[in-house]
Amino acid sequence: PGELRDCRVEIMLSNTYHLYLRPGLDILRQFGGLHVFNGWEGPILTDSGGFQIYSLDELKQISEEGVAFKSHWDGSRHLFTPEKVVD
C-alpha cells in the first residue's frame, strides 16, 4: 500500500473470484475485511468475478444451480449459486 500511495493511486481494484480462492473468505473475515487485510485505507473496487465464467472456460460448469469452478490452484471444486454470490 505504501508504494501505491507514493504513486498517488486513489483506488484499489480487487478480483472477487481470486480473493475467494486465496486467501479465502475465512481469512478475510479474521482480518476484519479487505481494507485491513490489504492495509489500504482508500476506496476498494471489487469486480463480480463474472469474467472468470469466460476466461476459465475449461474449469467451469454451468447448471440450473449455479456455476461450479475447479480451482486452478489446487483442483478443489466450488459452487457459486445466485444466493451465495450476493452473500
Walk along the chain (87 residues) and give the pLDDT tens digit of each residue.
Answer: 789 889 999 999 999 889 999 999 999 999 999 999 999 999 999 987 788 888 888 889 999 999 999 998 999 999 999 898 887
This model's pTM is above 0.85: no
Long-range contacts of 70-77 (CB under 8 A, 24+ apart): 71/21, 73/21, 73/22
